[in-house]
Structure 1
Amino acid sequence: MGCFVAGFLIATFGDSSLGRKNMLFLSCLTISIASSIIIFSTNIWLYSALKLMIGFCRSSIGTCSLVLLTERVCKEWRFRVGVLEYIWYTLGFLSLPGIAYVNIDASWKSLYLWISIPGICYSILAYIFVTESPRWLLMQAREKEAMALLNKASGGTLNPSQLTEPAKQSASTFNLYSSIKQLFVNSWAFKRLLATLMLGFGIGMVYYGVPLNVGNLGFNRYLSVLFYALLEIPAFITTYFLHNCRRKPSLLAFSISSGICCLICAGIGNKLPIVKPALALVSFFCVATSFDVFLIYVVELFPTSVRNTATSMARQAMVFGAIFSPFLISAGRKNDLFSYGIFGLIIL
């Protein structure tokens, strides 16, 4: 819920006052500190409050890193460069079953320290080495800073006259929530945003729900999570090679494939113990590919002035879909129609 709410309250900061870099740094640092403090919780209420804070802080991390990465290159390279974010996301995903297995007999507090302390170090490194988006700087009328970054990247071969005039034409000083206002006032932006939110809801429910359902598969949960994480690798490789393909048909094909696999899982129940986990993995591969294509597609759909806000809201739609997953999985312990069945129908 914290992640969902923050998507509307603080996502616009990345488009307005803070920028991509500062938003990324503050989000990473705050979530890491909150994850370290949570081990001192003395009751469920304090624990829940800190979890709310963790969700609130983490909402912008993926968005800022993707937007910052894709805004460093020209439009023709956005899709392929955006895939790079998924490589590191996958490495983080792969680390989780290993960390959990090493701490199999340890307290939950140990797990939090394992994942939060490296995050603090990462935040400091990001602040030192990551530079701001030149596109955002130009939109904020900070031409000198933008030109300095672009000249450094081009080896000093960039002609200032190439960008100063367009920058002056498009520069504006944003009010805090002006980017959200632009999304809702402009009819084309609102329709486009509404469509992406609907897509994000279905993809998010399945993307987060299928790996969370490993306990109902009757298979080793550590190996299951490892297999799910490994499937992220062929997913982003597939996404990379889809850069010349149209986005909508790609999303449609992989989403339908994921939905069909989920429905088959619901239909066979526990009759075929080997086939069911295999189908669940195929379903996750398809939805992970849809997930990757979808986020870069959203970046391409919206202009610089509202890109961070729109991408963040699309991610929050995914999180909103994920909110229902634990309840469906709990109901699916007795009948797979309540978990895999609904997953399949929703993404279809």
Structure 2
Amino acid sequence: MLTTSSSSPVDLSVPLIPPSKKTDEPVAGKLKLCIDDMLNQFCGEFGVWQLRHFVLTSLAWALEAFHTMVMIFADREPEWRCLIPGSCSTGSGTVCGLEPGSWEWIGGPASSTVAEWGLVCGHKYKVGLVQSLFFGGCMIGAGIFGHLSDSILGRKGSLTVVCILNAIFGCLTAFAPNFRTYTLLRFLTGFSTGGVGLCAFVLATEPIGLSKRGVAGMSTFYFFSTGIAFLSGIAYLFQSWRALYIATSIPSILFLVIILPFISESPRWYLIRGKTNEAMKIMQNIAKVNGKHFQDDVSVALDEEANNTTTKNKVEAKAANEAITGSVIDVVRSPLTRVRLFLSFAINFLCSVVYYGLSLNVVNLGTNLYLNVFLNAVAEMPAFLLTALLLDRFGRKPLAIGTQCILGIFGMAGTYNLLFVYTLELFPTVVRNAALGCATQASQMGAILTPFVVVLGGGLPFAVFGVCGIAGGLLAFCLPETLNKPLYDTMGGLEKGENAENENA
């Protein structure tokens, strides 16, 4: 022991310069796990909590079905009848060329926008125009809300905003005084509708474990098809197109007030935003509701920080309280995700042309429209079940190829929904919604072209749908398989995981 000039003792066992602290070392006694491993080991991959959250969140798909497919009934061309015997023999079976006052719409002008604003003959293109503008709004909205969902708003916040806008624009559409206003409001409704499905899908599936995610993801689309089936009944009850828009917008309000307060934000989003405590609270709640024991010495971490048995290699990572952001630019910048994005874009575009084309083409079948729409929706459901059963056995890639080559609403319904699951697994959490938003934008681009193909009638639309389906199946050969692979959180985690897999291969 030495003394200073002031006779104060100096402890030589204490270093004068303390050692630096390593911020990337795990806290003593704490086991850091990524969300997939925490779900598997401590919370349950698909228990009571996930089932309730999944059902409540997926109800938003029915809202998207209402706002999207309402055009089938609101913009339909009604039946007409001759008022003056012998004056309606044009030979074409249409009202084109008939004298005004010699015929009338069955159900009156209020039965559809076509009847009210005379969207027939030389003005028939306007029907395809307004439907294409709706999908154009969807395309823009999908990109914007896909980004906002990954960044400042989160999954639940974005879903809240789009449902509010859907309710407002949907109700306002019922009071459109003219065709131009109607077209604008349908575009704005499409803008908000474009974010509903992708936000609901990611929010519903991100808290689900690896082994159950594929089947659960495919099951979300039962809600969309059920929404279409219910829509046919609603349209039958509300024969006026204005009343129909009110009736299909009210469910969005009910969803906001009754359902949304019971939906939780995604723990994965909290994690990438640096809100580790919030993510841990959700994981602990999942374990509690599922009847699982959650250890106190376990903490949630990004895939790059985890020191679990699945990811043994430790790498430098950002501090746990630092938000990690990403955008489509980051997706394009990485060679790995860039190829995936371009392929997903092209496949979603081609699949959408076929899916929406076959759905909207029911107006050309010449039979009971309400029954056709109902049966069309029901016909999709076996495809969801079959795809869900085969998804984890054969993988995403073989099914994406096979279902696109099986033409008809059965095969394409399976592909359209499978692509959501596939795209979600191809990209990490930090850019997942942005990438899925781009894929959805591609789908809306295909949907924009579809109404113009449908109005051509005859056998040409089916020829176009066949070519698009086969082309999409061929492109799917170039995508990697994602079966039994984890949902990575960051771009670095995805790249290291792929490199490790390539080395082991």
TM-score relative to the length of structure 1:
0.87
2:339 is matched with which residue? 191
1:347 is matched with which residue? 469
Report the Cα offset of residue 173 of structure 1: 2.4
Alpha-carbon deviations, 1:214-239, whole Å to 9, x = none?
12223322221111110122121112
Partners of 1:304 and 1:161 lie apart in 2 by 25
1:76 aligns with 2:211: yes
Alpha-carbon deviations, 1:79-128, whole Å to 9, x = none?
11212311222221111111111223xx2110001100121111223331
2:234 is matched with which residue? 99
Partners of 1:8 and 1:68 lie apart in 2 by 17
Report the Cα offset of residue 72 of structure 1: 0.8
**Contact 2:215 / 2:391 at 8 angstroms: preserved in 1?**
yes
1:163 is matched with which residue? 299
1:255 is matched with which residue? 404
- Aligned counterpart for 2:199 among listed residues 53, 64, 67: 64
**Contact 1:90 / 1:229 at 8 angstroms: preserved in 2?**
yes
**Contact 1:19 / 1:136 at 8 angstroms: preserved in 2?**
yes
1:320 is matched with which residue? 445
1:130 is matched with which residue? 263
2:434 is matched with which residue? 309
Report the Cα offset of residue 294 of structure 1: 1.3
- Aligned counterpart for 1:146 among listed residues 279, 301, 305: 279
Q: How does 1:291-302 map to 2 (within 5 A)?
A: 291-302=416-427
1:284 aligns with 2:417: no
**Contact 2:142 / 2:198 at 8 angstroms: preserved in 1?**
no
1:236 aligns with 2:372: no
Alpha-carbon deviations, 1:32-65, whole Å to 9, x = none?
1110112222222222221111111111111111
3-state SS of 1:163 partner = strand
CA 1:209 to 1:43, structure 2 compared with 1: closer, same or farther past 3 Å?
A: same
Partners of 1:5 and 1:70 lie apart in 2 by 24
**Contact 1:16 / 1:174 at 8 angstroms: preserved in 2?**
no
CA 1:247 to 1:91, structure 2 compared with 1: closer, same or farther past 3 Å?
A: same
2:487 is matched with which residue? none
1:25 is matched with which residue? 160
**Contact 1:12 / 1:308 at 8 angstroms: preserved in 2?**
yes
Counterpart residue identity of residue 208, structure 2 = V
Partners of 2:175 and 2:302 lie apart in 1 by 52
Partners of 1:140 and 1:296 lie apart in 2 by 23
1:202 aligns with 2:350: yes
CA 1:45 to 1:161, structure 2 compared with 1: closer, same or farther past 3 Å?
A: farther
1:278 is matched with which residue? none
Q: Which moved more, 1:285-294 or 1:159-168?
A: 159-168
Alpha-carbon deviations, 1:110-154, whole Å to 9, x = none?
000110012111122333110000111011111111111110110
1:173 aligns with 2:320: no
Q: How does 1:19-58 map to 2 (within 5 A)?
A: 19-58=154-193
Counterpart residue identity of residue 286, structure 1 = G
Root mean square deviation, CA, Å: 1.7
The structure whose Rg is larger is 2
Partners of 1:246 and 1:40 lie apart in 2 by 48
3-state SS of 2:351 partner = helix
Alpha-carbon deviations, 1:176-196, whole Å to 9, x = none?
xx3212111111111100000
Partners of 2:162 and 2:245 lie apart in 1 by 17
CA 1:311 to 1:161, structure 2 compared with 1: closer, same or farther past 3 Å?
A: farther
**Contact 1:23 / 1:60 at 8 angstroms: preserved in 2?**
yes
Partners of 1:297 and 1:118 lie apart in 2 by 29
CA 1:143 to 1:159, structure 2 compared with 1: closer, same or farther past 3 Å?
A: farther
3-state SS of 2:220 partner = helix
**Contact 1:17 / 1:174 at 8 angstroms: preserved in 2?**
no
Which stretches in structure 2 are left out of the alignment for 5+ residues?
A: 1-135, 306-316, 471-505
Percent identity among equivalent residues? Answer: 32
Report the Cα offset of residue 10 of structure 1: 2.9
- The structure with higher relative contact order (CA 8 Å, sep 6+) is 1
Counterpart residue identity of residue 100, structure 1 = A
Partners of 1:321 and 1:240 lie apart in 2 by 25
Partners of 1:145 and 1:308 lie apart in 2 by 20
Partners of 1:190 and 1:161 lie apart in 2 by 39
**Contact 2:145 / 2:437 at 8 angstroms: preserved in 1?**
no
Report the Cα offset of residue 161 of structure 1: 4.5
1:108 aligns with 2:241: yes
**Contact 1:239 / 1:292 at 8 angstroms: preserved in 2?**
no
**Contact 2:271 / 2:301 at 8 angstroms: preserved in 1?**
no
1:336 aligns with 2:459: yes
3-state SS of 2:147 partner = helix
